Every structure is written in C-alpha cells, then in structure tokens.
Chain A
Amino acid sequence: MKNPTPTKVLEALAIIAITGLTATPLALLAARSLAQSWYWPSLTPQVWSVRAWKYVFSPTADVLPALATSLSVAMVVTLFAVIVALPAARVLAWEEFRAKRAVIFALLLPVLTPPLAATMGVHALFLRYGLTDTLIGVALSHLTLTVPYATLMLTGSFSRLDPDYEAQARTLGAKTIDVWRSVTFPAIAPGLAVAASFAFLISWSQYLTTLLIGGARIVTLPLTLVAFQWGRR
C-alpha cells in the first residue's frame, strides 16, 4: 500500500529540517573556529587560520586535562544517576499509589527551580559537610539535575514494558538476576541508553555548579571555555 502524499511531504520536510538542524550549527561553529578575520561584509572569512585549534590543544589551554576531568565526572554521574533512577522508575511506571503525584512532583522540583537558588544553597550545604573541592562532591551536585531526567525517561521505558513478562519468567523458574538480564534489560535498553546519554550531557555542560563545588581542583571543560568565550572582568 503506497503512503499517502501528505505523509511523504511531511517526511521529506522533516528530513530536510533535521539535517539542516544538525549540520548548520556545527558547520558554523567549525567555520568560526577556523576563521581569524571574518567581518562585514564578507560572506566568507577574510583570513583563515588554525591558530585557535593550535591553542586549544596546546598545554597552556589545559583543555585536554579539563576534557579528561569532564569525562570522568560525567561518567561517574551517569552511573550513579542510572543506578538511582532504575528502581524508582520501575515503581513509578508499574505501580499506582496515593502519593505518586507527590513523588513525581518532588522529582520534578530540581528541573522546575531556577538553577541559581538551588546551586547557591547546595554549595552552602556541601561546605558544611566537606564535600567541596572533591570529584565526588562535584558528581553529587550534578546528580540533583540528572536523577530527575533519568528517572522520568526510564519511567517511560518501563511503562511500555508489560510487567507480565517478568512475572512469566519468574513462574518459569528464572532467578531475579536472570529475569533482569533476559527480560527487563533488553526491553529497556534503548530507553536506558537515551537516559544515560542525557545524564552524561547534563553533567558535561555544568558550569556554575562545578565552579562553586569543585573549586580550583576540579576544572572541567565548560569552565575553560566560558572563561574564553564570554570574558568580562
């Protein structure tokens, strides 16, 4: 059966939109990083140069160590967030109970609140408990934002999995760990991947939190870049 025309048009438009959306910002950013002089009214840079890239990878810019730190922090955060989110998401997806609305709201709280107030408060709290200037402290501070997103996404994954499958597997004699490996995990794997990558991205791009909590010891990529990009004294 052939697809009706409106759908085909929509599909074509969508593909164009998504390719444009992904390619254009990247192309522009790449062009800007390679352009030494690119001002009005010239449509292409007047002077090209790899100077910016050379600087970024030089030892001075500290970009590579910052990259490594960003990577470690983000991975630790992702792992923690997913471990914490999995059981919670399972409950939210499969069970009904009176306090459910309140729990969802509580989980949404960090997402809804303007980051400023929460960050300053979290910093004061961490100071009292000696969590500042440590990798673990920074990772924990990122958790407040990543756990809600991860939980909500995994709730979606779980809600599309029928709990009966697990029950059946158990009736057939499978142990809990086998149920997880053969039934649950494969079913939620795509959603898990999305949730994990989201948590990773959020942790990766934190600036203010990392600055406050990490101090001078934990220097991540956004710190190095922000100081560059929007310098004001």
Chain B
Amino acid sequence: MKTIKKKHLFAQLLFSTFGALLFSQTLIGCGNTAPSSRSALTAEQFSRSRWDAVIEQANGGEINFAMWSGDEARNRYYQNTVAAKVKQQYGVTLRFLPTNDVADIVNKLLNEKGAGKTSGGTIDLVWINGENFRTAKQGGVLWGPFAEALPNIKHFAEDARQRDFGTLVEGYEAPYQRAQFVIAYDTARAPDPPRSIEKLREWIKTHPGRFTYLAPPDFTGSAFIRHILLFYLKRDSTGGAFDGKFDEQRYQRAAAATVAYLNEIKPHLWRKGETYPTSPKEADRLFANSEIDFTMSYGPSFASEHIARGEYPPTTRTFVFGEGTIGNYSYLAVPFNASNPAGALVVINHLMSPPHSLDQGRALGSLFPLLPDGLTTEERAAVVALPLGPATLPAAELAKHQLSEPDAQYLERLEKDWREKVLKQ
C-alpha cells in the first residue's frame, strides 16, 4: 500500500507541474500573439512618403527576418553585428526565423493568403530569389512595389533591378547580394583542373568515377546543367546571337546537345551515374572524403569558408570556366501581410548600403555587390583591400568571366528534360 501511495503522489506532483506550466504557457502564449499595435504601412502610403518619415515610423519597432540559417558564421554575424547596428542606427529590433528553404516560407505565405490572413503576419522580411520569387510574385504574396524608391537602389546594376532569372522584378524585391558560380577542386588530387566545358568532358572520361553534380531541382545542380545549356545556346548561331530571352526553337536545339553531353558523361560519373547527390551537404562530404574531386557552389568564398572550418582540405582552390560562369543576385522582399513593412524597408535599405556591404565582405568574404560609380574614393579603396580567403578568386577575375542568368523558363524546361532524358535512362 505504501509503495502505491508514494508512486501516485509522485505522479500527482508531475501532473500538477504540467498543469501549472500549461496554465502559465497559455498566458505567455496569449501575450506573444499580440502583433504590433501600430498600423502597418501600405505600399500606397509608402509611395507617397518621404524616406525620413519611413525611418521615423520604423523607429522602436521589431521585425522578423526569414533568412537562410544553415551557416554558423553568417548567423553569428547577422545576429550580433548587423542586429546591433540596425538597433543603434534606426531603433529597429531585428529578430530571425531559422529558415532551411525559402520555398517553405513561400508556401506558408501562399497558405495564409488562401485563408485570408492579410495582416498581422509573423514574417516581415524574406531573403529570396529566382524561382521562389517568381512563385511568390505570381501568388501575389509580396508587398510592394518598393525597391525603386529605396535610396540605396542606385548602387545596383540595371539588370539586377530589372530581372531576376528572367522574371520581371517590378520593384517587388530589392537586390542585395551577388553570387557567382565557382567550382572547387583539391590541388593535391587534381592539380590541373579542366577549365572549360569541353575539357571537362574529356577529364571525366579519363578519370571515371571522380566527378558528379547535384541532382536538380537542387539549386547548385540545376545551375551546373544550366551552364552546359548556356554553352550550347551561345554557340548556336542560327537566328542570330543569343540574347537571354526564351525561344522554343533555340531551346530544343541546345537542350538536345545538353542532354547528349550529360548522357555521354553519365557512365563515367561517380557511382556510374546511377545516382547523384541530392544536397550540398552530401556533395561536401563526398568531396572532403575523396569520393569525388570537384564540388560547386554559387558562393565564391564557400571553399575558403570550408577550409577555415576544417571541412575541406587546405589545398582546395576554386576556378571558373574560361567561357564564364553564371552570376546572379539574391534579393530581399517583404511578405504581403507583414506586420512592420516600414521596419523591413529600413533594414533592406541598410543592407544595401556600401558600409554594410563592405563590412559583410570583411566579415564573411561575401562578394562585393555594388557598382563602383556610386562609391566614394575611400569606399572604392576599401573594396580593393577586402581580404580574400585562400581559395577565393579575386573579384576582377570573377567579373571577367561572368555570364548572366538566362530566362527562368530555360531552367524549368531543362530540369524536366534532365529528369526524363538523363536521370531516368
């Protein structure tokens, strides 16, 4: 009898603790759900406002930023340095929502729009680009237009402001970071890497099992096959020079050549091309563990960062194709139901500023995204003096070999064709 009493006393204690916690959490939970009481700035109001009025409205507010959080160094930099700066300069509190894939966020917004939740949204700022931007814009889940009215927009190149992967931006997102596709290799294992697409084909055949690419729809894998498509699109002189716009006939011809290329190298790939890695982490693992000799990324400093963290061998370097590699921009956008658009705009403008870009370049090795024209002499000197990691190519070298993204329709069609004609064979 005694043992039962003790047992049930303990259980009662446990349950009452649960109950107390439940009660308190309900209270706290209720407290947390109250959105900011100030009314959210509308796009229409913004178009009529002066910038300092926006800054004033943002002061004292809080914004939630859905930023890809898979990188420690980046998280640390943003949560400490950037947040402090923004708080000090504008009085805005910057909070972060850990995000794995911006597609999840876009989905959430689409669902919210479908259910009529047009205000009081929990996300104020999104880091976005490419197909996700297209989906979001088509789904009508972005606030705006706003980008062309931001003071710092003048620092960005025209083509970045006009189109994102061929989709018209129309002011619904603001350019913010630049990236360029680079290929990493280990000088200890492959001292003389193939620096063109045709040389790559030869190299793969003479080194069976040492190369692979990520399976689309992964971002990087999709970029790799796009390079091959672009290669054939530009060589195709029928109908004049290639201008980046989508053309069915051009696509058919180039795609046929691309598919032929990919199928030709397939049996000589890692695992005989029967499977492909599906995430960058997996490709990193294969590269670091000597299963493959090359890996790729859109971040020019990615290899240096990996070396610094001990994840890649210190003999790793990067290169770009002689024909050039694709460069693109990533953007910042505001969800249609953001609670604090004014705060978001202020932060966006700050992240587009020369001081921030320089600082981020120093802290994270990010490629400097701004045009030199709008910079002061000191700023221009600072850009030149930005430190490069051991495996990072200098900005001038990258710029010399930069290609623009072709229309997003090429990407979609190619991904489908890759699945049907290369993967499933």
Contact check, B28 vs A231: say whether CB atoms are below 8 A apart. Answer: no
Of B18, B29, B97, B281, the contact of A231 (CB 8 Å cutoff): B281
CA gap between A227 and B310 in the complex, in Å = 20
Contact check, B18 vs A78: say whether CB atoms are below 8 A apart. Answer: yes
8 Å CB interface, B22-52 against A: 22, 25-26, 28-30, 32-33
| Given A135-B25, A189-B11: A227 touches B70 (CB 8 Å cut-off) | yes
Contact check, A127 vs B28: say whether CB atoms are below 8 A apart. Answer: no
Contact check, B310 vs A186: say whether CB atoms are below 8 A apart. Answer: no
Q: Which residues of chain A come closer than 8 Å to B29, judged between CB atoms?
A: 134-136
Closest partner residue, chain B, to A129 (CB atom):
B115
User: Of B98-106, B253-261, B342-350, B390-398, which binds chain A?
Assistant: B98-106
Cβ of A212 < 8 Å from any Cβ of B? yes
Contact check, A212 vs B64: say whether CB atoms are below 8 A apart. Answer: no
Cβ of B119 < 8 Å from any Cβ of A? no
| Given A79-B18, A185-B8: A227 touches B68 (CB 8 Å cut-off) | yes
Contact check, A229 vs B281: say whether CB atoms are below 8 A apart. Answer: yes
User: Of B75-83, B160-168, B267-275, B380-388, which binds chain A?
Assistant: B75-83
CA gap between A227 and B79 in the complex, in Å = 15
- How many whole Å from B167's CB to the nearest CB in chain A? 17
| Given A39-B288, A135-B32: A75 touches B69 (CB 8 Å cut-off) | no
Cβ of B417 < 8 Å from any Cβ of A? no
Contact check, B122 vs A217: say whether CB atoms are below 8 A apart. Answer: yes
As a 0/1 sequence over residues 154 to 193 of chain A, the CB contacts with chain B under 8 angstroms (1 = contact) are 0000000000000000000000000001100110010000
Cβ of A67 < 8 Å from any Cβ of B? no
Cβ of A232 < 8 Å from any Cβ of B? yes
Cβ of A233 < 8 Å from any Cβ of B? yes
Contact check, A233 vs B111: say whether CB atoms are below 8 A apart. Answer: no
Contact check, B70 vs A49: say whether CB atoms are below 8 A apart. Answer: no
CA gap between A36 and B313 in the complex, in Å = 12
Contact check, B66 vs A216: say whether CB atoms are below 8 A apart. Answer: yes
Contact check, A223 vs B115: say whether CB atoms are below 8 A apart. Answer: no
Q: Which residues of chain B come closer than 8 Å to A219, judged between CB atoms?
A: 97-98
Q: Which residues of chain A come closer than 8 Å to B196, judged between CB atoms?
A: none
User: Of A5-13, A16-24, A55-63, A97-105, which binds chain B?
Assistant: A55-63
Cβ of A72 < 8 Å from any Cβ of B? yes
Q: Which residues of chain B come closer than 8 Å to A49, judged between CB atoms?
A: 310
Q: Which residues of chain B come closer than 8 Å to A217, judged between CB atoms?
A: 32-33, 122
Cβ of B87 < 8 Å from any Cβ of A? no
Cβ of B71 < 8 Å from any Cβ of A? yes
As a 0/1 sequence over residues 123 to 162 of chain A, the CB contacts with chain B under 8 angstroms (1 = contact) are 1100110001111100000000000000000000000000
Q: Which residues of chain B come closer than 8 Å to A76, judged between CB atoms?
A: 18, 21-22, 25
Contact check, B111 vs A231: say whether CB atoms are below 8 A apart. Answer: no
Contact check, A40 vs B290: say whether CB atoms are below 8 A apart. Answer: yes
- How many whole Å from B143's CB to the nearest CB in chain A? 16
Contact check, A215 vs B122: say whether CB atoms are below 8 A apart. Answer: yes
Q: Which residues of chain A come closer than 8 Å to B209, judged between CB atoms?
A: none
CA gap between A182 and B281 in the complex, in Å = 55
Contact check, B22 vs A233: say whether CB atoms are below 8 A apart. Answer: no
Of B26, B69, B218, B289, the contact of A228 (CB 8 Å cutoff): B69
Q: Which residues of chain A come closer than 8 Å to B148, judged between CB atoms?
A: none
- Most interface-central of A62, A76, A233 (chain B CB within 10 A): A233
Closest partner residue, chain A, to B63 (CB atom):
A216
CA gap between A136 and B25 in the complex, in Å = 9
Contact check, A124 vs B111: say whether CB atoms are below 8 A apart. Answer: yes
- How many whole Å from A176's CB to the nearest CB in chain B? 15
Q: Which residues of chain A come closer than 8 Å to B114, judged between CB atoms?
A: 124, 127
| Given A36-B309, A72-B21, A135-B29: A233 touches B102 (CB 8 Å cut-off) | yes
Of B18, B64, B121, B310, the contact of A75 (CB 8 Å cutoff): B18
Cβ of B241 < 8 Å from any Cβ of A? no
5 A–B contacts from the bound complex (CB under 8 Å):
A37-B310, A40-B289, A79-B18, A189-B8, A217-B33
Interface of B toward A, CB cutoff 8 Å: 4, 7-8, 11, 15, 18-19, 21-22, 25-26, 28-30, 32-33, 64, 66, 68-72, 75-76, 79-80, 95-102, 104, 107-108, 111-112, 114-117, 121-123, 218-219, 279-281, 288-291, 298, 309-311, 313
Q: A36-B309, A223-B98, A232-B101 are in contact. List 18 more A-B contacts (CB 8 A).
A: A39-B289, A55-B72, A60-B76, A72-B25, A79-B22, A133-B122, A181-B8, A212-B111, A215-B97, A215-B108, A216-B66, A216-B97, A217-B122, A227-B100, A228-B69, A230-B70, A231-B100, A232-B280
In the A-B complex, list the 10 residue pairs whose CB atoms are closest, starting with the nearest.
A231-B70, A127-B115, A135-B29, A215-B122, A37-B310, A227-B98, A216-B122, A40-B289, A36-B310, A227-B69
